[in-house]
Structure formats: structure tokens, C-alpha cells
Amino acid sequence: MKEYKLFIDGEWVSSSTETILDDINPATGEVWGRVHQASADDLERAIAAAYRARESWGNTLANEREAILLRAADELQKRIPEVAEVLIDEAGSTFGKAMFEASFVVNLLRSAAGECRRITGETIPSDSPGVFSMSVRRPLGVIAGIAPFNFPFLLATKKVALALAAGNTFILKPATYTPVTGLKIAEIFEAAGLPKGVLNVVPVQGSVLGNKFVADPRVRMITFTGSTEVGRELSAEAGKHFKRITLELGGKSPLIVLKDADVDYAVNAAAFGIFLHQGQVCMANSRLIVEAPIFDAFCDKLTTKISGFKVGDPHDPHTVIGPLIDRKQCAVLDRHVADAVAKGAKLLHGGKSDGAFYQPTILAGVTPDMVVFREESFGPAVSVIRAADSEEALRLANDSCYGLSSGLITNDLQKAFDLSLRLEAGMVHINDASIMDEPHVPFGGIKDSGMGREGGHHSMDEMTELKWITVQMGQRQFPF
């Protein structure tokens, strides 16, 4: 059985306390790897290494940073099957999702490489005579990232690659469930020739990490993807230290289907948007809000479609529904289903589990008083909600503390743009599912779904300091 060490200051090192935990395959429940866990001393070494490297890396020429990111992309291209296998065994990704995620990151790295040359300031007209005024962007220094388990390779690499492109050094804490995926990022950048100390990857238990990243003044920024509860705590602590933070948190994303939509297309979009990776996606369209005239037909067609989904071995390319990362989540789904049915919803399909595998589940006639309307299920369960018209659909969509992503299916372009501007979400996808991402877009949400944006030049803005510089040409005349 393979053992994985920490990556600190360009070296693979053992835990200073010799703490090693089992890494569990969620599909089988078996141990498939053992991972060293960072101690408080190991965290200090990682922060110190990143802090030492910050100045030299921050002054590295843009074309040199670009070359390393492009070499990392080429290295990953060769290792896509290897990374996909880790995503299947460690994260419970289905074969198709794992291959997509690994391939997406190749493009992400190349996109981040391009950002190295696009970190720009501006010249500013001055009201003072003889003054040349400009703004420049400079790296923050050390950034710490905390990644989630659902798209662990994609979302962690996005944080790492964009921070490096901006000239920052980085400390990555992979998700507790998926530490090896984070360590694969270190392997790829090591092979690409990244200087020592620029990237450090430290699997660590929350009880050991505590507020170390937030409280340490050497760490200038936290970038976090995870639950709203943890994000709220991090934000509060970061505020105490005036620390920059970006948060991509939970969601209860709506997909509005209006009466003029192609029902078959809408069903395909809805199924993809909720059942990808077993619904363990913050953008998942877990609330399907359907106009009354097509409600029944939509429910019938969606039930027929998912009844053919294969549930089981994630290595099988035909599997649609793989395991949940933790079988304890099945109890949460059971609670949501039971509450909805007790309050009048109709269970059209699923509602049962076998180990970590939960059947794709449809609840029709869900209303705002039901728990499943409000809370993230983070599993393969979807609510279908009837709306009298487009205005009620909009009201139901906005009736949530979350505001991450959303979708809207209609052939009425005027209505589509009108509703998209009024949807309370950081992202709106017209005639598509709510799940969508590209490396260069402003990814992020509003309300309890977080703050800040990740992707392209938007990350360059988040991960750099804007500085104003003036040059006095000739001698200024002072009043005294």
C-alpha cells in the first residue's frame, strides 16, 4: 500500500509527529493509501518556506512563470489517466467525471499561464503639474488555499495556478477526504521545475490547523471552497486580522424551465445538472422550478430518464451514479425525503441507499416549507417545484439564502434576459444546466454562497495589491 508524504519547501517529508492516516476508497470502504498528516511544526515549516520564496518568485519574469505553468500542463497531459484513477478511487468520481476533471485542468493551467502577461496597471491623469501618475499590481506574497473534496483536483489547481501566475507563493490544504489528489498537484509542479518553497502541500486535520492560516501575518490571503458554515467562521476570523479572503461556498441552485421550453432538452439539462458526481456539486440545480403547463410532462420524462441510470462501480464508463464521499450523507438525504413526503411531496423515484450508493431521487410538488427546498442535500436528490408563471418561478428561485449558480430554459430571449438580470445568483446560464465553469470566467456567488471571484484576470485582481506610484518630473513647488 502506497504511503504519501508532505510536500514542504520542495521536499517530500514525513510528518514530524509520524501521524499517518488511512485514505479510504468511498466505493469499497477499503483503505487504498496512507497519508502523512502535518503537525503544527510542519505547518510552520510550510509557511516559513513560502514566506522565504515569496520575494524571488514575485520578481520572477512573467515569461518564466508562464513557462513553468505550461510545462505543468504538458506534464499533466501525459498523466491524465493516472490522475483520473486517483479521482475515482479517492473521491468516488465516476470514470467520465474523472476524465473530464483531469482534462479540464490541462486547459486551466494553460489559461493561467496566459494571465502572467496580463497583470497590468494604468496611467492616471494628474491634477498636479509635472506629475506622472500610474497604478501597478504587485503580488500579495503568501496565499493559503483550502480545497473541497468534490472536484478536488480542479478546484485546488485553480487556486494554486492562478496564485502562482500572479507571482504569489502558496500553501495548499487538500480536503480531508482527498489528500492524495492535492499531493498529485505538487508532483506535477515539481516535475515542471517550480522553485523550492513556492508551492507547499500539507494534508492536515482541522483540529491541528485551527486558525493558523488566518492568524499568521505572513499569510496575506485565504482562498476557501467549502461549506457556508466554515466559510462564515473563516470570514469572521479574517476580518479580525484585516486579511483578504475569497469564499466559494454552498448553493441550492435553481433551474427554471418555462412553458415554451423543449421538454426533452430541459430534462437532459436538469439531469446532468443534478446527477453529475452524485449531486455533490455546489452548483447542482437541486431545485427544478417548472411552469405549470409542462410540469407533469417534465416529471414523467425526468423519471423515465433517470430510471435507466446505472448506479455502482465508478470505474465502469457506463456508471452515472457512483458513491457518496461519506455514507453518513445518506442519512441527510433520508431526512430530506421523509420530511418532504410527510408534507405532501410525491417521491417519484429513489429514496433508497445501499452503503455509500444513493439511488437517484426525484421529489415532485416540493414547496418552500420543506427542508429539502432550503438545505443542501449534497447528494443525488432533486426537487421539482411547480410555478404558475415566470414571475412566480423567479420568486421561488430567489427564495433562498444561497446565490451561487442558476439556469433558465426558454425560447423567449427577451424573457430570458429579463429574468437573468433579476435572478439573485452570481452566475446565470440561459438554456443550460446550472453547472458550468471555464478557467477564465468570474466564478463565484452572492449571499450565503460566498464572496470574491475565481478565474482569469478576476483572480489576478483578487490576488494582487494595487499600488499607486507617482513621478515628479522637475522640482515641485511646495507651499512652505
Residues with active-site annotation: 248, 282
Residue 295: which H helix or E strand, with range? helix 292-306
Q: How far apart are CA 164 and CA 100, in angstroms?
A: 23
Conformation bin of residue 367: beta by default, left when phi > 0, alpha when psi is -120 to 50: beta
Phi, psi of 314 (to 5 degrees): -70, -15
**Whole-angstrom Cα distance, residue 404 to residue 60?**
35
C-alpha cell at 54: 515569496
Q: Which is it for strands 446-447 and 402-403: parallel, antiparallel or unpaired?
A: antiparallel
Inter-residue contact 161 to 108 (CB < 8 Å): yes
Residue among 204, 239, 200 at smallest CA distance from 51: 200
| Strand-pair partners of 297 | none
CA distance 344 to 398: 22
72 vs 66: CA distance, rounded Å:
10
The answer to whether the beta carbons of residues 434 and 449 sit under 8 Å apart is no
Could you give the angle at which helices 62-78 and 95-115 cross, rounded to 10 degrees? Answer: 160
Q: How many CB atoms lie within 10 A of CB 349?
A: 21
What is the C-alpha separation between 320 and 393, in angstroms, rounded? 29
